[in-house]
Amino acid sequence: MRTLSLFLCGCLLASLAADEPGEENVRLAIRRLRSRDSVTREAARSELAGLQASYRPMIEQALNGELDPDVRTQLRELLKLIGRARWRTDLDAALREAAKLGKPVLVLSAAGALDGYL
């Protein structure tokens, strides 16, 4: 049983490590925020918004060295999102996103509106 538990823990850690984009990919995504193409900028923003909190120092460093005011604004907004859980109120949209990312879905239910919590 202990061997199975260690194996499962190893698989979990390996899958978490596989999700890490790597510093070079993060740098490239930050550069893509400067693109003239809005689709490219939005794709980069989405990629950066899903980063783990461990990448905050890279975003902060990019913010400190960035001269473009629009990119600085995007980086400040990204710092608010990085490492935070992204809650969805539309289950179908959450399931589609989870399937696309290969991630599990945690469903919470509450009586009444969740104003102020999402």
Q: What is the pLDDT of residue 6?
A: 41
Q: Give residue 110's domain range.
A: 87-118
Q: Are residues 56 and 34 in the same domain?
A: yes
* pLDDT average per 10 residues of sequence, the chain (118 residues): 44 46 92 96 91 90 95 94 76 83 79 64
Q: Could you tell me the CATH number of the domain that includes residue 6?
A: 1.25.10
CA distance 61 to 94: 32
Give the pLDDT score at 105.
Answer: 83
Claim to verify: residue 75 and residue 109 sit in the same structural domain: no
Say if residue 52 is in the same domain as residue 24: yes
Give me the pLDDT at residue 116, please: 56
Residue 32 DSSP one-character state: H
Total of domains in the chain: 2
Q: Is the pTM of this model over 0.85?
A: no
Q: Are 23 and 51 found together in one domain?
A: yes
> What is the per-residue pLDDT for 19?
57
**Paired tokens of 48:** 């950066």
**pLDDT for the residue 4:** 41
Are 68 and 101 within one domain? no
